[in-house]
């Protein structure tokens, strides 16, 4: 494996030009380009899934949860990513347990977004959209409201990237106590078979 780096992402308020205060750590990440997307969560380092931005117990002041790798309950490879949530706010995004990442895409092309997910007593949602540095398309969302508990669900959507955007953002947010497993996240170009 190549040398890995750990990044801590934060948001800070700036007063005047040189005074920095109020830094809040938003997430943690371990990067290793050699493992690719790591949508099966097979590659881990320092308790984190490699190449995912993770909203961890250390970065969410109102949350209490464990981030685990479940080798007994998975859909692809040898493990799934498991969130065991005891307490959390309902805001979502970096305020709640979850993961996110942005991937390069071709503007105007269609992509298949798919993943396996399972929950016990937890309210969750997945969002995705084409994005750029300072703008993005409206997010598409999928949530737990119509999915039976204790059952793996395969979710698949087709999404066309708006012409001016060159990345897609995928995010899982967990908004209530319970357990959530996710596995086999894929973002793949749709191949036109000409039929």
Enumerate the domain spans of the chain: 35-189
The residue written with tokens 């106590």 in the block is 177
Distance of CA 151 to the CA centre of its chain: 20
The residue written with tokens 């737990």 in the block is 144
Q: Which of 82, 64, 65 is nearest to 73 (CA)?
A: 82
CA dist 94 and 116 (Å) reads 22
- Residue 5 pLDDT greater than 60, yes or no: no
CATH superfamily, domain 35-189, is: Galactose-binding domain-like (2.60.120.260)
In the Cβ-directed half-sphere of 178, how many Cα atoms lie within 13 Å? 17
Report, as an integer, the average pLDDT of 90-105: 83
Task: Write b or e for each residue in 6-36: b if 16 or more Cβ atoms lie within 10 A of its Cβ, otherwise e.
Answer: eeeeeeeeeeeeeeeeeeeebbbbbbbeebe
- Residue 43 pLDDT greater than 70, yes or no: yes
Q: Which is more confident, 8 or 41?
A: 41
Q: Which is more confident, 2 or 26?
A: 26
Mapped onto helix, strand or coil, the DSSP state of residue 158 is: strand
> In this structure, is the dihedral angle defined by the CA atoms of residues 58, 102, 72 and 157, taken in order, positive or negative?
positive
CA distances from 140 to 97, 117, 128 (A): 19, 17, 5
Cβ atoms within 10 Å, residue 115: 22
Give residue 195's pLDDT band: very low, low, confident or very high (50, 70, 90).
very low
In terms of DSSP H, where are the helices of 20-175?
none
pTM of the model: 0.84
Task: Name residue 66's beta-bridge partners.
Answer: 84
């Amino acid at each position: 494996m190549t040398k890995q780096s750990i990044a801590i992402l934060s948001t800070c308020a700036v007063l005047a030009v040189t005074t920095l205060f109020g830094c809040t750590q938003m997430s943690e990440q371990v990067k290793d380009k050699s493992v690719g997307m790591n949508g099966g969560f097979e590659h881990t380092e320092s308790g984190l899934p490699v190449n995912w931005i993770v909203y961890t117990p250390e970065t969410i002041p109102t949350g209490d949860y464990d981030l685990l790798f479940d080798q007994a309950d998975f859909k692809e490879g040898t493990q799934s990513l498991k969130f065991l949530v005891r307490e959390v706010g309902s805001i979502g995004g970096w305020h709640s347990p979850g993961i996110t990442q942005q991937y390069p895409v071709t503007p105007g092309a269609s992509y298949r977004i798919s993943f396996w997910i399972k929950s016990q007593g937890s309210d969750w949602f997945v969002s995705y959209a084409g994005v750029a540095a300072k703008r993005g398309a409206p997010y598409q969302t999928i949530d737990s409201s119509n999915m039976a508990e204790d059952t793996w669900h395969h979710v698949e959507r087709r999404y066309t990237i708006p012409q001016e955007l060159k990345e897609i953002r995928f995010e899982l947010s967990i908004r209530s106590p319970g357990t959530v497993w996710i596995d086999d996240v894929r973002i793949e170009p749709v191949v036109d078979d000409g039929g």
